[in-house]
Chain A
Amino acid sequence: MTDMQTKDTRKKDTWQRARLGALVTGLLPLVGFVFPFVNLQGKNLTGVSFLATILKNLSADRGHLLLGGGAALLLLLLSALCAVVSFIVYHKRSYDGARRGLPEIVGMASMVVSALAVFFQTISILYVKKAVEGAGLTDSFMVKDLGAGYYLTVIFAYLGLIWAMKKMRIHPGHIVLVIMSVVWLFPIFYIVMNSFRGEGSFYVNYIIPKQFSLENYRQLFDAGSKFHYGRWYVNTFVVAAFACVCSSLIVLATAYSLSRIRFRGRKVIMNFLLILGMFPAFMSMIAVYYILKGMGLAQSLPALVIVYSAGAALNYYVAKGFFDTIPRSLDEAAYLDGASKWTVFTRITIPLSKSIIIYTVLTGFISPWADYIFASIILGDKSGKYTIAMGLYGMLSQDNIDKYFKQFAAGAVLVALPIAALFIALQRYYVEGLAGSVKG
């Protein structure tokens, strides 16, 4: 009984604190408004007078800015209100563990409101300049003119959101994930937007195009273009496809032999591969180039296929790790039934190794698709034989970037799309293979 009582008191204490916390975190962002908020031509304005000035001076055609600035303020006030209401509501009901009814609704509302407040507060830094200059307060506003009050508001708004989320048992880590996702997705968003931009050259001071068009994509495949994008695309695909088949077979054969068969010289071969792998892969490229030239293959696509496949045996390690995990008793049972090693390899091992085969094929296709170094040395200046990586790289040179940047964007999207789709579809196998590579 005493145990239950202490538990009850503890619960009550937590909720007393929760009420207080909601109130404090809801009201705190407003505190920022009484501190120096912004420095205009050497004069410090507090948040209150700053907002008042802006709202008074903002001309009508800057409506959306008004909306933005107003929204931020409104939402801050709302979240403060929610805080007060939840303070009162919680007071009237003792918390009994059931998460239903008014407190929950108020809690959820205050969380949503403060999430919105945080959002507007965060992006307000992006439009404060326009708002200030639009209001005619100054014509050279810099973000560094913002004062302590402004940052206090932002920080407190975040604290309020974290508090509200905690109360609703929603992990505050979501905030971090949202911010990180924005950072990670921004470059992708940026390049996709630019690939559809119909107007301007490289240098524009906005992100979302004024005019969407497919012109950039069309120009890429224009026969008269300086860049033979279409041909590069086919080149890359053909090379990657052939190299993928060859290198996958090589990797699987090597890994299988070194994993499942005990023969004289096995250790020697493994150590030999290990040492070879420690040299920078393209250190010997010049020599390879001359050897290929001796074979009459230099500056050609078959040469690239050879280069990508010939060294593939060095990447046997992941697949070997996988083959090691297939029970040996399976093989032995088959041998007893009179199966040859070839039968065991093709009928037992291969069907059991779907995931590692997909992993090998996937990486075997992607790495030539994305390779620049080997292609640049083997193909040299033969631009008709270029692969995508080389071609796109050339589009960004000093002389080309202004004129061809939008085409580059379209080209980049087209290169990335099939690979990304393939990758996402086969993600599971990739993760399995990657996990296998760590166990070393």
Chain B
Amino acid sequence: MTNVSEKKKDKAPLLSYFLMGWGNLRAGQIVRGLLYLLLEISFIVFFLRTGIGALQGLITLGTNQQGMVFNEEIGIYERIDGDNSMLLLLGGVVTLFVIVFFLILYFTSIRSGAEALAQKAAGKRPASFRDDIRSLTNGNIHKLLLAIPLGGLVLFTVMPLVYMILMAFTNYDVNHQPPGNLFDWVGLENFKTLLASSDKLSQTFWPILGWTAVWAVFATFSNYFLGMFLAILINNKGIKGKKLWRTIFVLTIAIPSFVSLLVIRTMLNKNGVINTQLMELGFITQPLPFLTNATWARVTVIVANMWIGIPYTMLITTGILTNIPADLYESAKMDGAGPVTTFRKITFPYIFFITTPYLISNFIANVNNFNPIYFLTEGGPLTLDYFKGAGKTDLLVTWLYKLTKDSMDYNYAAAIGIVIFVISASISILVYTRSGAFKNEEGFQL
């Protein structure tokens, strides 16, 4: 390509740095060239008309606060609209995305122009617009297939995420709510308050992080081992009606988890069926505080979560069990190994080998496990030791949710989201280095 342009001393490559699509136009790709040109013009118009302002807004996040000004003509105080920091931040982020998008197209247009000219120079006819369209179902099918998925992702996941990440570096809390108030950049202040200060937020963050870790460990491993036990039990040769048993447990997966969790919550209520029946049957005289005492509630959510989680592991393990080579068991039997030894030396290592990635991603999923906590306890019981609204069974995610939805402390919510990301990412790195090691192995070896 470079050779050709040097030889021909054509101005087109240079010009196409300024006029997008120039190279395509010269090479005869009229529609494509015009589209590029139109794009450039509209971008410049957009940038001059709103883009510059939006970028300034992103930096200042607004300067005029909404206020009351006395209108002498009518004789009353009038509200003067100020800047809306939230919209300025959002506009700034959108503008940044538009700029990035434009830059990507800018560089593709230069390359595309150069390629078209090179083809023309080589005596070939550059692809017409119709060819381009047609290639979308063949050579460029990935562009057709990925356009909507990635577009949706950028618009509704990436852009909001960037917006939210930026929010972690502002003071957009309940006291700085637009349009009435402005918020501003504060740097790493939120992280400092959250992680290392004598503030209530910090005194809430660490215990909740601790409980999140305890919860994730117990929720993951209790389900893992008990589910495995159940699968092995049902899979045993001596068990009759395997299908029936599996269906009974699958039934609990089939019911939407919010339904079963809400049902369990009503059952564990002070006046719920468990307490009334236990009292009726003479086990207790006072209702048990399943969801209202901190320690009780923590144990309860872990146990109730098993009701939902064990069948999942059972299903997963069942599939793996049937794949264990039968000759392993036969030779073990020949050597006189009992059921415990076979489990310890064959079944468990085999399942563990295959499910390690699942186990770790399940751990991450549990760190982010919103439903069991929110539907059973709503994070409660609430405590005065914690920041307003946070309770003793709150995980980081449920606290994030509450900070977003109830107390509108968006900056702290965003900071917590970043902390969760850091935790998930570090564990994920573990997963992927591990599974990389798996790929290099020939397979399961005793």
Contact = CB atoms under 8 A, between A and B. Distances in A.
A313 interface: yes
Contacts of B249: 180-181, 184
Interface string B351-377: 000110110010010001011001100
Nearest to B164: A284
B416 to A, nearest CB: 8
A128 B282 CA distance: 9
A285 B137 CA distance: 35
B410 interface: yes
Contact of B315 (A176, A206, A341, A431): A431
A256 interface: yes
A177 B276 contact: no
A440 B434 CA distance: 11
A342 B153 contact: no
B259 A170 contact: no
Interface in A271-289: 273-276, 278-288
A187 B261 CA distance: 10
A373 to B, nearest CB: 6
Given A126-B281, A287-B163, A423-B250, A177 B425 contact: no
A424 B239 contact: no
A340 interface: yes
Contacts of B263: 187, 190-191, 409, 412
B146 A341 contact: no
Contacts of B258: 370, 372, 389, 392-393
Interface stretch (A1-9, A49-57, A84-92, A304-312): A304-312
Chain B: interface secondary structure?
A: helix
A439 interface: yes
Nearest to A417: B255
B256 A439 contact: no
Contacts of A396: 262, 265-266
A412 B160 contact: no
A171 B236 contact: yes
B138 interface: yes
A254 interface: yes
B138 A340 contact: yes
Nearest to B249: A184
Interface stretch (A14-22, A66-74, A197-205): A197-205
Given A173-B236, A427-B250, A283 B256 contact: no
A181 B370 CA distance: 26
Given A129-B281, A311-B153, A420 B145 contact: no
Contact of B277 (A171, A191, A205, A254): A205
A190 B265 CA distance: 12
B266 A405 contact: yes
A276 B153 contact: yes
Contacts of B123: none
A95 interface: no
A188 B279 CA distance: 22
Q: Which size bracket describes the interface of B in this complex?
A: 35 or more
Contacts of B152: 250, 306, 309-313
B145 A203 contact: no
Nearest to B354: A438
A133 B312 CA distance: 44
Contacts of B256: 366, 369-370, 389, 415-416, 419
A53 B438 CA distance: 68
A185 B266 contact: no
A310 B156 contact: yes
A187 B145 contact: no
Contacts of A169: 238
A255 B404 CA distance: 33
Interface stretch (B60-68, B203-211, B291-299, B316-324): B316-324
A310 B354 contact: no
Contacts of B375: 372, 393
Contacts of A48: none
Nearest to A345: B141
Contact of B425 (A205, A278, A432): A278
A254 B142 CA distance: 8
B233 A341 contact: no
Interface in A137-152: 141-144
A369 B251 CA distance: 17
Interface in B320-338: 320
Interface in B133-159: 137-139, 141-142, 145-146, 148-150, 152-153, 155-159
A253 interface: yes
A283 B273 contact: no
B414 interface: yes
Nearest to B322: A435
A94 interface: no
Contacts of B159: 287, 291
Contacts of A285: 160, 404
A290 interface: yes
A170 B237 CA distance: 10
A314 interface: yes
Given A286-B410, A313-B152, A416-B259, A438 B320 contact: yes
Given A257-B141, A401-B266, A435-B319, A174 B239 contact: yes
Interface string A418-440: 01101110010011101101111
Contacts of B280: 129, 205-206
Contact of A424 (B167, B254, B262, B424): B254
Contacts of A253: 145-146, 148-149
Contacts of B239: 171, 173-174, 177
Nearest to A256: B145
Interface in A84-131: 125-129
6 contacts: A129-B280, A205-B277, A278-B428, A310-B153, A370-B257, A438-B358
Given A183-B307, A434-B319, 5 more contacts: A204-B276, A278-B421, A313-B150, A405-B266, A412-B262
Closest 4 A/B residue pairs (Cβ): A171-B238, A287-B160, A129-B282, A370-B256
